[in-house]
Structure 1
Amino acid sequence: MAEHDHSAIKEHMNVVGADGVHLGTVDHLDGERIKLTRADSPQAEDGQGGKHHYIPAGLVASVDGDTVRLSATAANAAELFEEAE
């Protein structure tokens, strides 16, 4: 797979899995990770409020208009979330 120019990824873009399921909204690009907005964060299992999550930019399959499409399904990508401290 070709390397993508991650500079095309901008804040407020929608992030969707390969299955078309909405995963989050881009807060900003942080090196080789995409930081998602806290508003889109899945609730933690213990009921705590949302946190910023990061997904590896390497999961990006394409950037089409204002949508970042991943090579993984939304559920698989969510398993790779890194929580911000």
Structure 2
Amino acid sequence: MSGYASQIRQYMEVVGSDGRHVGTVDRLEEDRIKLTKQDDPDGSGRHHHFLPVSSIAAVDGPKVRLNLPADRARALATITGDSPLAAGMGGMSSGC
């Protein structure tokens, strides 16, 4: 797990390497950042999405900065998860 994991707190903003908003931390689950439902990349607001802790470049005050641009991070969070196609990357949890 990343050395940054211990610095992550609920409600911190997650931004891409380009400084654009990706989501808001709900909590950490193992080696994944769980984003709040209101940051659901599919726009439904019904799902939590996850990003791997390994995608963290830095924790700067109230922000978690990723090592990839926001659009790419949102795409990874949208398509990753419990499916066999995205093993090890985190993902969607249904019905939460």
- State TM-score, norm by structure 2: 0.76
User: Do residues 80 (structure 1) and 79 (structure 2) align?
Assistant: no
The structure that is strand-richer by fraction is 1
User: Do residues 52 (structure 1) and 51 (structure 2) align?
Assistant: no
The structure that is helix-richer by fraction is 2
SS for the counterpart of 2:46 is coil
The CA distance in 2 between the partners of 1:5 and 1:17, in whole Å, is 15
Task: Indicate how the Cα distance of structure 1 residues 7 and 72 shifts in structure 2: closer, same or farther if over 3 A, else same.
Answer: same
Read off the aligned partner of 1:25 and give its amino acid letter.
T
In structure 2, what is the equivalent of residue 37 of structure 1?
36
RMSD: 1.4
Instruction: Give, in angstroms, the shift of residue 49 of structure 1.
Output: 4.2
- Cα deviation, 1:5-64, whole Å, max 9, x if unaligned, reads 3110000000000001100000000010000000121235xxx44310001110000001
In structure 2, what is the equivalent of residue 5 of structure 1?
4
Q: Which has the higher contact order (CA 8 A, sep 6+)?
A: 1
Gap regions ≥5 residues in structure 2: 78-90
* Identity across the alignment (%): 44
The CA distance in 2 between the partners of 1:35 and 1:56, in whole Å, is 9
Gap regions ≥5 residues in structure 1: none
The CA distance in 2 between the partners of 1:49 and 1:61, in whole Å, is 26
SS for the counterpart of 2:38 is helix
Larger CA deviation: 70-79 vs 11-20: 70-79
